[in-house]
Amino acid sequence: MTGRRWLIVGVAIAIAVVLAFAALGAGRPSPSPSTLPGGTPEASASAAAASAISSLSVPSGDATAMPEASPIAAGTLEPLPALLALLRVAPEDRTGYDRSLFVHWIDADGNGCDTRHEVLIAQAVVAPSIGARCALSGGRWVSLYDGLTITDPAGLQIDHVVALAEAWDSGASAWSPAHREAYANDLGVPFALLAVSATTNQSKSDDDPADWLPPAAAAECPFLGDWIAVKVRWDLAVDPREHDALAADIRDCPATEMPYVPAGFADDQPGEPSAGPPPSAATSGGSCDPAYPTVCIPPPPPDLDCGDIGYRNFKVLPPDPHRFDGDHDGIGCET
């Protein structure tokens, strides 16, 4: 009898609690769908939080997937994370790489100054005098990577911010010769080629930012910005390790912005290796000496010197009738 009495009391208490909560709910109407976005601050905050969480979601089954990047208008300045999000992540492959496949330095505008000299002239903090055959004197430069002031052009090297070998690994192996030549001599933007001290250029070699950063701390964010902007410009991929290093390092560069300036080269099919001679050889209508397979240079006579042609650092095969390869290392007119 006593046990039954306690059971009845417990049921009564439970019913009372349910009725009390029902009464509270009846006193506060539930928001309709039309009032949610502009309702109470709590409702707005909840909606914003839900939206933020939704935007960060990762597709199921792919823990490494990134949110799809929004289209960016050409020429706009963008923060580095926005540009990094445009890059494909893919493994690297150096199979078949040869530096001579990127013909440089050329005199694209025929003014007597090749790409190296054009960069030196453009990036001098004190303009040099320009003599015969574009010989430079009297200028002054500041090397970005280490902050050194240099007054002798011979102490400077022109760094491909994204090295030729790195470009090959990241997609340039599928480009045509003309495409690679354009990349190797890119004067279209001021951040693809930099005049830096020979010491830092040699230290950097063909490393990516996962393995090398400038010795000057103040140069790190500019270098990372240049690197990402060049890869975006030429639609080059980043490998997973490189991507993770970039993503981590640019967190320290929230104020750094770079322009989105696509090169617009569309002569190659992705994934298909290029073949055949350079366009200059195919369309010149004249004879191209087979000793220089990546450029079109006629056989002698006349006997030409490096100053007579617009090419630099190109592949040379025996018998090298013009004797462009003086040290017999297979590269002609080296700079």
184 within 8 A of 176, measured Cβ to Cβ: no
What share of the chain has pLDDT > 90, as a percent? 56
Average pLDDT score over residue span 142-160: 96
pLDDT for position 73: 82
CA–CA gap between residue 148 and residue 198 (Å, rounded): 11
Tokens 């004067």 sit on residue = 187
pTM above 0.75, yes or no: no
Average pLDDT score over residue span 153-182: 96
pLDDT for position 71: 66
What share of the chain has pLDDT > 70, as a percent? 72
Q: What pLDDT, in 10s, does the model give residues 66-123?
A: 334 446 788 889 999 999 999 999 999 999 999 999 999 999 999 999 999 999 999 9
143 within 8 A of 197, measured Cβ to Cβ: yes
Domain-by-domain residue ranges, the chain? 81-259, 276-335
Q: Is a pLDDT exceeding 50 seen at residue 63?
A: no
Q: What pLDDT, in 10s, does the model give residues 227-271?
A: 999 999 999 999 999 999 999 999 999 999 999 999 987 664 443
The number of residues making up the chain comes to 335
